């Protein structure tokens, strides 16, 4: 990609990986984080997207060509979503006027429950206030001349709810048919998508929305049955659906056709490709469940 000055809001699971990839490619990177001072081969700045004053201080040291907002709400509720995503986007647009923002949203904005195929033109009627706030933040990002990326459930080294639950014995398969679809994306493929779109030039993509998801939706039942067979473990028992599930009680297949049409391809087309080919994925989850293994 052409050398750029990229400001990343959020130096967590996704942001740190993206910052490293951009830095290795010769881009000038500054990552803003809320925690203690860290060491990295690129610039780090203490700050908070919810604090306009801290962003003004960042601006004194870094003049970005593009901003990537991938800060986390720390699993908070509507108030946290309002502060980090909606107000946070407003702060960025005020402190860095004219700088396009790439905003990492979520496929949870699609509220479909009928197992249908959804794309970026599909109706967005999330059943939770958090989803509605994400849609509001998406609009702000597009208004900045940037883009909105609707990421499916992120997994990767150190993070996979399905592997962890299988290994620790807490996994259950939701009762009823049909089994709901799981839409996922490996962290490295999410980073690859952002890197690819930045390199494609936001000028030609301004105002766009893309789903960031792998090629192979799977049902929850299929996921656990295949994982159990792969690792020689019992198939999890049936249980009622969890009404408090983070991404809501949805059931849909999310299409990545629009993103693929830009030239992006996932390294891991399916979750099971990653289980077999990512050398860090399974061992990292096993070590969390059984540290001595």
> Given a cut of 70, is residue 95 above it in pLDDT?
yes
Q: What is the mean pLDDT of residues 176-199?
A: 96
pLDDT single digits (tens) 24-46: 999 999 999 987 667 899 999 99
Which range, of 121-130, 166-175, 226-235, 239-248, averages the lowest pLDDT?
A: 239-248
Measured distance CA(214)–CA(190) in Å, rounded: 9
Distance CA 54, CA 275 (A): 40
pTM, full prediction:
0.95
pLDDT of 291 > 70? The answer is no
Question: DSSP letter string over 104-161?
Answer: EEEGGG----S-EEE-TTS----SSHHHHHHHHHHHHHHHTT-EEEEE-EEEBTTB-H
Q: Which token pair is 166? A: 């299988």
Say how far apart CA 207 and CA 68 lie, in whole Å: 15
Total number of residues shown for the chain: 293
pLDDT tens sequence across 119-153: 999 999 898 999 999 999 999 999 999 999 999 99
Phi first, then psi, for residue 226 (nearest 5°) are -70, -40
With a pLDDT cut of 90, the percent of the chain lying above it is: 87
Q: Residues 109-114: what's their mean pLDDT?
A: 95
pLDDT at 3: 63
CB 78, CB 85: distance < 8 Å: no
| Cα separation, 187 vs 159, whole angstroms | 9
> Which of 138, 135, 15, 130 has its CA nearest to residue 81?
130
The answer regarding whether domain 5-159+185-215+250-268 maps to CATH 3.40.50.10440 reads no
pLDDT of 100 strictly over 60 = yes
Q: Is the pLDDT of residue 222 over 90?
A: yes
Of 283, 280, 278, 13, nearest to 167 by C-alpha is 283
């Amino acid at each position: 990609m052409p050398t750029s000055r990229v400001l990343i809001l959020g130096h967590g699971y996704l942001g740190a990986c993206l910052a490293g990839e951009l830095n290795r490619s010769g881009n000038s990177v500054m990552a803003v984080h809320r925690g203690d001072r860290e060491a990295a081969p690129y610039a780090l700045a203490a700050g908070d997207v919810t604090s306009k004053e801290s962003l003004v201080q960042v601006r004194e040291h870094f003049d970005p060509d593009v901003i990537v907002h991938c800060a986390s709400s720390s699993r908070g509720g509507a108030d946290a979503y309002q502060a980090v995503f909606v107000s946070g986007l407003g702060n960025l647009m005020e402190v860095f006027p004219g700088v396009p923002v790439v905003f990492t949203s979520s496929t949870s904005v699609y509220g479909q429950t009928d197992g249908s195929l959804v794309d970026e033109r599909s109706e967005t009627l999330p059943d939770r206030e958090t989803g509605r706030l994400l849609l509001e933040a998406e609009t702000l990002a597009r208004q900045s001349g940037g883009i909105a990326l609707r990421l499916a459930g992120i997994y990767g080294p150190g993070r996979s709810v399905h592997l962890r639950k299988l290994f620790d014995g807490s996994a259950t398969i939701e009762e009823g048919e049909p089994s709901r679809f799981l839409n996922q994306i490996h962290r490295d493929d999410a980073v690859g998508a952002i890197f690819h779109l930045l390199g494609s030039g936001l000028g030609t993509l301004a105002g766009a929305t893309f789903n960031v998801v792998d090629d192979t939706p799977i049902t929850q039942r299929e996921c656990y049955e295949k994982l159990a067979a792969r690792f020689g473990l019992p198939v999890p028992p049936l249980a009622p659906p969890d009404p408090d599930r983070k991404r809501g009680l949805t059931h849909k297949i999310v299409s990545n056709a629009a993103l693929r049409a830009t030239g992006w391809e996932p390294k891991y087309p399916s979750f099971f490709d990653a289980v077999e080919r990512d050398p860090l994925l399974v061992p990292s989850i096993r070590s969390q469940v059984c540290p001595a293994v």
